[in-house]
C-alpha cells in the first residue's frame, strides 16, 4: 500500500495527529481554514483531509483532487462538505455526532441561567464602576418553560438536564422523536414559541433550514422571552433579532453562531448584536472544550485510520456502512460501485476467472452506491485488479493488503 498523507486544518486536537502518525500516516497541520484555491493547492498528493466548520470541501475541490479518499469533519455538522459529490467520487466522509454534545448542552444551561439572572448587565455595570444591586428582572430558571427547537442529540440531552433543574420542557422537531422524561412534544413551532419562556435552537445545517427563524417567529414568542442559538448561524435573521431586543419584546439572547464568521482567530468580527447589554456573544465555542475537542480528535481520526487500512465505513455519513473483521493472513479488496443489479456477481466472476478464493465478503448499499469488502486467500495479480477497476459501475477500487 502506497504511503498515505493527511492534511489537518483549523487547529485540530493533537490526538488526531497522534493517532494518524502512529498508524504510519504522514500528517501536515495548518492552524486556519483555507479557501477553494488554497485547498486545491494544499491537497496535492494528499489522501486524507481533516477540517472543522470553516473550510468548505466543494465539488470543485473534489474534482480537482481525485487522489483524496476520505474527509473527516471534526464537528457535529457536515454542511461544509458536498456529501453527494464526495460520494460520487468515492470519498468517504465522517463526522463526530456525539463527542461534543455535552459541551454544547452545558453552555446552553449556563447561558440560560446568566440571562435569567441578568448577569451580563450586572457584569458590564460593575466593570464600569457602577454598583447596582437589585433583584428586579432576575429570576430562577426553576419552574420556567424551556422550548427546544430540534430534539436531536443535543436537544434531547439538554431536555433531560433542564428537567433535572426543575424546568418544564417542551420541544418541537419536524421528525418523530421520543420525548424523554416529562418533556412534551408540541404540534407546531408556533405553539412552542407562544408558550416558552426560553427558546433554544438546536437544528441541523441542511440548506432548507436557512433563514427559517426570523421576524414572524420572534413576534410569536412570549413578551420578555429569552432566545438562544447554538446551532447554525444562517438559520436566524440577526437584524430581526436586534429589532426585537431593542423593542423589549425579546428579553435577552445568547448567540454562538453567525451568518458570517471570521476564518481564523484574531480576524475582525462585526455583528449588529454587539454592545447590547442583554446579549451574550461567543465565537462559535459551543463544542470547544478541551474534553470535547480531544474526544472529537480521537473519534474522527480513528474513523479515518480504519477506513484507510481496513475499508471500514462504519458511521460514514455518505457511503454504505460496513465493518468486516479481517481474516488473518488474507488480502482485502474494497470495491465502491454504482448500486445496479449484478455488480456482486460480476465482482465474484472476476475472482473466479483469476483463481482467487474468497475467505469472507460483505456487501452494503446506500442510495445510488454499493460497497463490497472482500477478503481473499491469496494476493491479487495486476490483471485481476485491472479487471475490477474497469468493470462497469466501479466508482473506486482499493487494494488494502
Per the CB < 8 A criterion, the answer to whether 332 and 326 are in contact is yes
Could you tell me where the DSSP H helices lie in 165-256? 189-195, 215-220, 238-247
Q: CATH number, domain at 96?
A: 3.40.50.720
The DSSP code sequence of 18-29 is HHHHHTT-EEEE
One domain for residues 259 and 135: yes
Per the CB < 8 A criterion, the answer to whether 276 and 42 are in contact is no
One domain for residues 359 and 374: yes
> Dihedral of CA 29/30/31/32: which sign?
negative
CA distance 216 to 80: 28
- How do the residues of the chain divide into helix, strand and coil, expressed in percent and rounded to 5? 35, 20, 45
Query: Which domain-ending residue is among 260, 281, 302?
Result: 281
- Closest to 271 (Cα-Cα) out of 260, 287, 280, 285: 260
Report pLDDT for 210: 87
One domain for residues 235 and 346: no
| Count of structural domains within the chain | 3
CA distance 372 to 336: 7
Residue 122 bears catalytic tag:
no
Scanning the structure block, which residue is given the C-alpha cell 486556519?
Answer: 32
Residue 284 bears catalytic tag:
yes
CA distance 72 to 300: 6
Residues 155-175 as b/e (b if ≥16 CB within 10 A, e otherwise) read: bbbbbeebbebebbbbbbbee
Catalytic residue among 261, 354, 396, 398: 261
CA 131 to chain centre: 43
Tell me the CA distances in angstroms from 137 to 117, 248, 251, 299, 364, one per residue in order: 8, 13, 10, 43, 58
Q: CATH number, domain at 333?
A: 3.30.70.260
pTM of the model: 0.83
Per the CB < 8 A criterion, the answer to whether 198 and 147 are in contact is yes
Scanning the structure block, which residue is given the C-alpha cell 453567525?
Answer: 258
One domain for residues 248 and 135: yes
One domain for residues 399 and 259: no
Distance between first and last Cα of the chain: 7
One domain for residues 382 and 245: no
Query: Which domain-ending residue is among 300, 319, 338?
Result: 319
One domain for residues 124 and 220: yes
Question: CB under 8 Å to 134, separation ≥6 — which residues?
Answer: none
Task: Pull the grid cell for residue 313.
Answer: 465505513
Catalytic residue among 5, 60, 139, 284: 284
CA distance 70 to 89: 10
Catalytic residue among 232, 305, 332, 337: 232
Per the CB < 8 A criterion, the answer to whether 258 and 271 are in contact is yes
One domain for residues 207 and 273: yes
One domain for residues 175 and 210: yes
One domain for residues 135 and 250: yes
Weakly modelled stretches of the chain, pLDDT under 70: 1
Report pLDDT for 1: 64
One domain for residues 277 and 136: yes
Report pLDDT for 161: 98
Question: CB under 8 Å to 193, separation ≥6 — which residues?
Answer: 147, 199, 217, 220, 221, 222
Residue 232 bears catalytic tag:
yes
User: How many helices (DSSP H) and strands (DSSP E) are in the chain?
Assistant: 13, 16
Report pLDDT for 296: 95
One domain for residues 107 and 96: no
Residues spanned by the domain of 61: 1-100+289-319
Instruction: Please provide residue 116's backbone torsions phi and psi, each rounded to the nearest 5 degrees.
Output: -65, -30
Amino acid at each position: 500500500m502506497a504511503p498515505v498523507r493527511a492534511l489537518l486544518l483549523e487547529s485540530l486536537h493533537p490526538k488526531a495527529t497522534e493517532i494518524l502518525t502512529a498508524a504510519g500516516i504522514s500528517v501536515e497541520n495548518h492552524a486556519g481554514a483555507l479557501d477553494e484555491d488554497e485547498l486545491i493547492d494544499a491537497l496535492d498528493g494528499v489522501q486524507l483531509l481533516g477540517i472543522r466548520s470553516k473550510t468548505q470541501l466543494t465539488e470543485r475541490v473534489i474534482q480537482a483532487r481525485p487522489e483524496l479518499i476520505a474527509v473527516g469533519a471534526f464537528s457535529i455538522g457536515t454542511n461544509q462538505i458536498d456529501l453527494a459529490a464526495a460520494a460520487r467520487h468515492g470519498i468517504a466522509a465522517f463526522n463526530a455526532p456525539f463527542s461534543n454534545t455535552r459541551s454544547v448542552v452545558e453552555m446552553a444551561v449556563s447561558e440560560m441561567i446568566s440571562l435569567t439572572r441578568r448577569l451580563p448587565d450586572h457584569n458590564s455595570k460593575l466593570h464600569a464602576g457602577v454598583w447596582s444591586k437589585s433583584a428586579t428582572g432576575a429570576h430562577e430558571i426553576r419552574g420556567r418553560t424551556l422550548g427546544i427547537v430540534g430534539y436531536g442529540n443535543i436537544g434531547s440531552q439538554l431536555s433531560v438536564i433542564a428537567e433535572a433543574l426543575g424546568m418544564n420542557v417542551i420541544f418541537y422537531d419536524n421528525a418523530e422523536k421520543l420525548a424523554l422524561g416529562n418533556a412534551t412534544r408540541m404540534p407546531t413551532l408556533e405553539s412552542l414559541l407562544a408558550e416558552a419562556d426560553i427558546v433554544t435552537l438546536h437544528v441541523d445545517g441542511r440548506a432548507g433550514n436557512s433563514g427559517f427563524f426570523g421576524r414572524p417567529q420572534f413576534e410569536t414568542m412570549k413578551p420578555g422571552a429569552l432566545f438562544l442559538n447554538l446551532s447554525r448561524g444562517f438559520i436566524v435573521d440577526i437584524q430581526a433579532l436586534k429589532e426585537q431586543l431593542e423593542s423589549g419584546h425579546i428579553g435577552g439572547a445568547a448567540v454562538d453562531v453567525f451568518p458570517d464568521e471570521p476564518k481564523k482567530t484574531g480576524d475582525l468580527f462585526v455583528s449588529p448584536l454587539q454592545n447590547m447589554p442583554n446579549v451574550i456573544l461567543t465565537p462559535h465555542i459551543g463544542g470547544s472544550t478541551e474534553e470535547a475537542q480531544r474526544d472529537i480528535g480521537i473519534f474522527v481520526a480513528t474513523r479515518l485510520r480504519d477506513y484507510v487500512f481496513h475499508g471500514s465505513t462504519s458511521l460514514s455519513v455518505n457511503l454504505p456502512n460496513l465493518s468486516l473483521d479481517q481474516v488473518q493472513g488474507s488480502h482485502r479488496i474494497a470495491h465502491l460501485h454504482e448500486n445496479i443489479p449484478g455488480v456482486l456477481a460480476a465482482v465474484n466472476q472476476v475472482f473466479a476467472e483469476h483463481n482467487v478464493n474468497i475467505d469472507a465478503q460483505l456487501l452494503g448499499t446506500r442510495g445510488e452506491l454499493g460497497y463490497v469488502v472482500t477478503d481473499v486467500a491469496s494476493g491479487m495479480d495486476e490483471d485481476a485488479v485491472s479487471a475490477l477497476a474497469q468493470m462497469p459501475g466501479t466508482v473506486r477500487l482499493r487494494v488494502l493488503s
